[in-house]
Amino acid sequence: MKLIKTLAFCAISTSFMFGSSSLVTKAEKNGLKPIPESKLELLKIIDDKNDPITKEKVELGKKLYFDPRLSKSGIISCNTCHNLGLGGSDGVSAAIGHKWTMNPHHLNSPTVYNSVFFDVQFWDGRSKHLADQAQGPVQAGPEMASPKSLVEKRINSIPDYVNEFKKAYTDDVKISFEKITSTIAIFEKTLVTPSRFDSFLNGKENALTKEEKKGLNTFIDKGCASCHNGIALGGTMQPFQVAAKYSFAKVGDFKGDKNSMVKTPTLRNITETAPYFHNGQIWSLSKAVKEMGSTQLGIKISDKEANEIVTFLKSLKGDKPQIVYPQLPESTINTPQPQYN
């Protein structure tokens, strides 16, 4: 009898292990990829040999990311809309910028975490990389509203910043608007959040619970991975409103790019980044899942199925890099003053 019980236990264990292995294979076949465990492998993905990541550039980029003096008013920083303590977004339906202006298209601020893995940036995909993306919000009237020349004058008027740029680059570096924003992008590249989901795909069978594995299987079977794939589980341009009209399509005037394609948001840390969709109209993750079922897949996702998928999505909450709020270098008498008009 003892032998029979032992064999039965071994059979169950083998079945469970095979099931996990099969699910990993299924996930990979459906385009899901983990964040590499190896820092060297990760660096190969996120780094640019023409402007390599260094400790000095990251620290300088972090200061610039948090510095509100990059905005015309001197009170809005990159972190205002992409708050690193709030999942990398701002927790409101539409971004609020200069002079308390709501985004004119009623667009929601996407998370900056893991944005290095996106194929494109912005909801309409108009930027291909972070360095280009970083230039947009700084200059945009409804956001930070700063002309290039104002940003350059402010940063170049602060001796400590000038010295930090020399240290991060070369003594004869030109501190241009493009150099300032590309340095911010280098910091943003480091905002990577590996999760238990990555551990599971990287071979740790028990990283996900039985319920989370079931949710992952449902996620794949329902077709969610057709858009939410890759390392980012999003970040590519996809057609929107494929099977039906989005319930809140009339909120804002955003229609996507010229081909009506919209950037698929990442699902990483999704529990922290409500409200959802480009115009931030749905606050419940379960409702967002069911909305995607009808709008994109042309299917009805039941409450049970939605809860299974949400259970899996919770496993995508990753480990955030520790960010210590920087002490910013002081302005001088030559630093252009805040402008409120």
- pLDDT for 123-144, tens place per residue? 999 999 999 999 999 999 999 9
- 129 assigned binding-site residue: no
pLDDT at site 21: 81
- 227 assigned binding-site residue: yes
Question: Residue 34 pLDDT more than 50?
Answer: yes
Contact 169, 121 (CB under 8 A): no
List of domains in the chain: 29-39+193-314 (1.10.760.10), 42-189 (1.10.760.10)
Q: How much is the average pLDDT of 166-180? A: 96
CA 187-324-112 angle, to 5 degrees, is: 40
pLDDT at site 19: 62
Q: How much is the average pLDDT of 229-248? A: 95
- 224 assigned binding-site residue: yes
| CB-count burial class (<10 Å; 0-12, 13-18, 19+) for 167 | middle
pLDDT at site 16: 41
pLDDT at site 184: 98
Cα 167 to Cα 54, 60, 70, 177: the distances in Å are: 11, 10, 21, 18
- 105 assigned binding-site residue: no
Long-range pairs of 11-16 with CB within 8 A, sequence gap ≥ 24: none
Q: How much is the average pLDDT of 195-218? A: 97
Q: Report how far residue 261's alpha carbon sits from residue 254's, in angstroms, rounded to the nearest whole number.
A: 11
Q: Which residue has the tokens 């996407």?
A: 110
**Catalytic site residue from 28, 59, 143, 291:** 143
In sequence order, the β-bridge partners of residue 102 are 96
- pLDDT for 286-331, tens place per residue? 999 999 999 999 999 999 999 999 999 999 999 999 999 999 999 9
> Whole-number mean pLDDT of the chain?
93
Contact 134, 181 (CB under 8 A): yes
Is 143 a catalytic site residue?
yes
Distance of CA 6 to the CA centre of its chain: 47
> Residue 233: which pLDDT band, with cuts at 50, 70 and 90?
very high
Q: How far apart are the two ends of the chain, measured CA to CA in Å?
A: 85
DSSP 265: P
Q: Which helix (H) or strand (E) holds 313?
A: helix 303-314
Q: Report how far residue 276's alpha carbon sits from residue 228's, in angstroms, rounded to the nearest whole number.
A: 14
User: In percent, how much of the chain has pLDDT > 90?
Assistant: 93
Q: Report how far residue 278's alpha carbon sits from residue 270's, in angstroms, rounded to the nearest whole number.
A: 14
**Phi, psi values for residue 266, rounded to 5°:** -65, 150
> Residue 246: which pLDDT band, with cuts at 50, 70 and 90?
very high
Helix, coil or strand: residue 127: strand
For 341, half-sphere exposure in the C-beta direction (CA atoms, 13 angstrom radius) is 1
User: For residue 70, which of 148, 9, 1, 175 has the smallest C-alpha distance?
Assistant: 148
| Buried/exposed 82-94: b ≥16 CB within 10 Å, e otherwise | bbbeebbbbeebb
Q: How much is the average pLDDT of 21-40? A: 96
Q: Report how far residue 122's alpha carbon sits from residue 257's, in angstroms, rounded to the nearest whole number.
A: 10
- pLDDT for 67-107, tens place per residue? 999 999 999 999 999 999 999 999 999 999 999 999 999 99
